[in-house]
């Protein structure tokens, strides 16, 4: 007759509780969504992010309430604008906002996925947009805080095929101060309806122009000393 050896369940549970109890507040047992974003972690990190960026937001009315949209923002080198734009908009709208551009290796890629990053791949972006997600993508990085770089038309193509709006979001932050500004513009409407790939190319170009116009309207510091102005702007 075989002898049945049962798992000492109570002993295991007691050990597990002893091991995990100190970390419990930091380790919720269900907080990742279907794209790997950990809402609990984002909420936990948001106060720390605010120590770096005190973000003022304008133009929230331009964001769709429920459907997806591609939000294109400018990025000064090392400003991490997609991160703070996504988090600030997520906090303001109470919707998960994702951003494009995570490497695919641990631990950085895995950590960025937990805070809402997607791969820099038009198919990945298309999938998220099709499911009604708000996705922030950065234009090409520039050295000047008020210059919008070129917009990747392949990422815009993902929005075109997913039939969602492309919305310019101007962002400005200081390299030395906490002040940051996020201004959401109206959705870009193409002048002509195109059936082919010209649609995304023209929308990408129009998005850059819109973005630049919003950045120009935001203005910058005017001290009379260009170097100080530049530093002040970040």
Partner 1 sequence: MTRVNGQRLLVSGMGGELGSLVASLLEREPWVGALCGIDVDPPRRRLRRAEFHRIEPADRERIVDVVTRFDPHVLIHLAVWEPDARAGTAHARRFTADATTAFLGAAAECPSLESIVVRSGIELYGRHRHALTRPDETVAPHPTSEYGRMVERIESVAAAVAARIGVAVGSLRLAPVLGPHVPSPLGRLLRQPVVPFSVLADPPFAVVEDADAARAFVRAAELRLDRPLNVVAPGAITGLQAVLRGRRVPLPLAGPEWWITRQLSHLGGAPIPEHVMEVLHRGRLADGTQAHDVLGFQPARSTPEVIDRLFAWESVVRITKDQPPSSVEVVA
Which residues of the shown chain bind partner 1 in the complex (CB under 8 A)?
4, 6-8, 12-13, 15-17, 19-20, 27-36, 104-107, 110, 113, 118-119, 121, 123-124, 127, 131
**Taking the complex as a whole, how short is the minimal distance between the CB of residue 129 and partner 1, in angstroms?**
12
Please provide the size of the chain in residues: 234
**Taking the complex as a whole, how short is the minimal distance between the CB of residue 113 and partner 1, in angstroms?**
7
Helices (H) and strands (E) in the chain, counts: 8, 7
**Taking the complex as a whole, how short is the minimal distance between the CB of residue 84 and partner 1, in angstroms?**
22
Distance in angstroms (rounded) separating the CA atoms of residues 2 and 210:
76
Of the two residues 21 and 193, which places its CB atom closer to partner 1 in the complex? 21
According to the 3-state scheme, what is the secondary structure of 162-184? HCCEEEEEEEEECCCCCEEEEEE
Of the two residues 32 and 45, which places its CB atom closer to partner 1 in the complex? 32
**Six token digits for residue 159:** 């929005």
Of the two residues 16 and 140, which places its CB atom closer to partner 1 in the complex? 16
Of the two residues 20 and 223, which places its CB atom closer to partner 1 in the complex? 20
- CA 49, 51, 57: angle at the middle one, nearest 5? 70
**Taking the complex as a whole, how short is the minimal distance between the CB of residue 29 and partner 1, in angstroms?**
4
Rg over CA atoms, the chain = 21
Say whether the peptide bond before residue 156 is cis (omega within 30 degrees of 0).
no
Of the two residues 105 and 192, which places its CB atom closer to partner 1 in the complex? 105
Q: Side by side, which strands form the sheet with 117-119?
A: 54-58, 179-184, 165-173, 69-76, 134-142, 97-102, 117-119
**Taking the complex as a whole, how short is the minimal distance between the CB of residue 122 and partner 1, in angstroms?**
10
């Amino acid at each position: 007759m075989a002898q049945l050896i049962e798992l000492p369940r109570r002993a295991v549970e007691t050990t597990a509780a002893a091991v995990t109890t100190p970390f419990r507040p930091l380790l919720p047992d269900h907080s990742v969504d279907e794209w790997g974003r950990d809402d609990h972690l984002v909420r936990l990190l948001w106060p720390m992010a605010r120590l770096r960026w005190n973000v003022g937001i304008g133009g929230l009315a331009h964001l769709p309430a429920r459907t997806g949209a591609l939000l294109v923002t400018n990025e000064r080198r090392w400003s991490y604008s997609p991160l703070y734009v996504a988090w600030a908009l997520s906090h303001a709208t109470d919707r998960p906002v994702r951003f494009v551009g995570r490497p695919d290796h641990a631990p950085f890629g895995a950590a960025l996925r937990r805070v809402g990053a997607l791969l820099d791949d038009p198919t990945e972006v298309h999938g998220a947009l099709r499911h009604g997600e708000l996705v922030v993508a950065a234009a090409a990085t520039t050295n000047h805080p008020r210059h919008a770089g070129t917009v990747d038309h392949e990422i815009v193509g993902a929005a075109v095929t997913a039939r969602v709006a492309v919305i310019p979001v101007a962002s400005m932050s200081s390299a030395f101060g906490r002040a940051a500004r996020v201004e959401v513009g109206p959705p870009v409407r193409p002048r002509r309806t195109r059936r082919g790939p010209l649609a995304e190319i023209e929308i990408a170009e129009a998005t850059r122009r819109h973005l630049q116009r919003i950045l120009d309207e935001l203005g910058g510091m005017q001290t009379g000393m260009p170097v100080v102005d530049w530093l002040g702007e970040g």
